[in-house]
Amino acid sequence: MHHPNFQYEQYSHRLPVYAGNTFRYDYDDGNVFIIHFFDATHRHDEGIAGPHKGFNGYYTFNYVEIAPCVYFMYWLEEVYTVSQVADFNRMLVYTHYTYDAQGVRKSLFHSGTITELDSFTS
């Protein structure tokens, strides 16, 4: 039995603001990616400029909303372990990669801007 004054809707999980949308990430190092977010945990990344031009990957990722419309996302790629904070209030992205280089663990940090392009339908 539910209490009549309890607001169950406030505890329901709402979709992140990025879900179903496409964005352009312009990083300070010259890398530019088009990111298609299919839903809350699936994305397609396409490198269109910079050292990662031609890169193409589909990923399942985890996320935590650390502030309203600010998301900490993390996932594994074939070469990289990626941690990312995407701030959709200020339209800024911060990404940290780690990878193995001949038995030595290396890391890279990139920051950039986010531009919303359109809605994406899978």
Torsional sign, CA 44, 74, 109, 103: negative
pLDDT in tens, the chain (122 residues): 444 554 444 444 689 999 999 999 999 999 999 999 999 999 999 999 999 999 999 999 999 999 999 999 999 998 999 999 999 999 999 999 999 999 999 999 999 999 999 765 44
DSSP letters, 18-43, are TTTEEEEEEETTS-EEEEEE-SSSEE
User: Tell me, what's the pLDDT at 122?
Assistant: 46
Tokens of 42: 């699936």
Torsional sign, CA 52, 96, 99, 76: negative
pTM of the model: 0.84
Tell me the longest C-alpha to C-alpha distance in the chain. 62
Whether domain 17-119 has CATH 2.40.128.20:
yes
> How many angstroms separate the first and last alpha carbons of the chain?
39
Give the position of tokens 């996932």: 75
Domain ranges of the chain: 17-119
